[in-house]
């Protein structure tokens, strides 16, 4: 799923960094944010269920590192089931799995356009 999403978004002109799990994602994000002259990560696509650290934990760490990071959550559970649990936690968007390449591209573009 990650590689398919990566390919889809790269075709849309985005530079993508993959992480194998939540901890690795947080570590990569922290390391890149520590570089003051580097371009910042524009958005993060998280899965609700990941090995080692779930999406809720990863979201919390990312927001501690940079409060304004745009995070899109993905899950096989419905938006009605998932999104209310993240109310007030700074979630920028949600996409339900399985999703199409065009739905993913549209969701990311919409989130990145938002102020």
d(CA 109, CA 12): 9
Cα separation, 98 vs 115, in Å, equals 27
Q: For 80, how many CA atoms within 13 A lie in the half-sphere containing its CB?
A: 0
Q: Any idea where the domains of the chain sit in the sequence?
A: 2-113
Counting beta carbons within 10 angstroms of the beta carbon of residue 10, is it exposed (0 to 12), middle (13 to 18) or buried (19 or more)? exposed
Reading the chain (115 residues) residue by residue, the pLDDT tens digits are 888 999 999 999 999 999 999 999 999 999 999 987 777 899 999 999 988 899 999 999 999 999 999 999 999 999 999 999 999 999 999 999 999 999 999 999 999 998 8
Residue 62, exposed/middle/buried by CB under 10 A (0-12, 13-18, 19+)?
A: buried
* Residue 109, pLDDT score: 96
pLDDT of amino acid 52: 83
CA 66 – CA 89 distance, rounded (Å): 13
| Cα gap 6→8, rounded to integer Å | 5
Relative to beta strand 43-47, strand 70-75 is parallel
SS3 of residue 114 by DSSP: coil
Give pLDDT, residue 44. Answer: 97
pLDDT recorded at residue 90: 92
pTM: 0.92
Q: What is the pLDDT of residue 67?
A: 95
CATH of domain 2-113: 3.40.50.2300
């Amino acid at each position: 799923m990650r590689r398919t999403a990566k390919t889809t978004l790269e075709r849309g002109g985005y530079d993508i960094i993959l992480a194998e799990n939540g901890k690795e994602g947080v570590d990569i994000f922290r390391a890149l944010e520590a570089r003051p002259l580097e371009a910042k990560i524009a958005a993060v696509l998280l899965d609700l269920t990941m090995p080692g650290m779930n999406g809720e934990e990863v979201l919390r760490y990312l927001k501690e590192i940079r409060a304004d990071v745009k995070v899109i959550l993905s899950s096989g559970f419905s938006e009605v089931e998932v999104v209310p649990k993240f109310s007030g936690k700074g979630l920028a968007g949600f996409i339900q799995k399985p999703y199409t390449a065009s739905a993913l591209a549209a969701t990311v573009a919409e989130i990145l356009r938002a102020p």
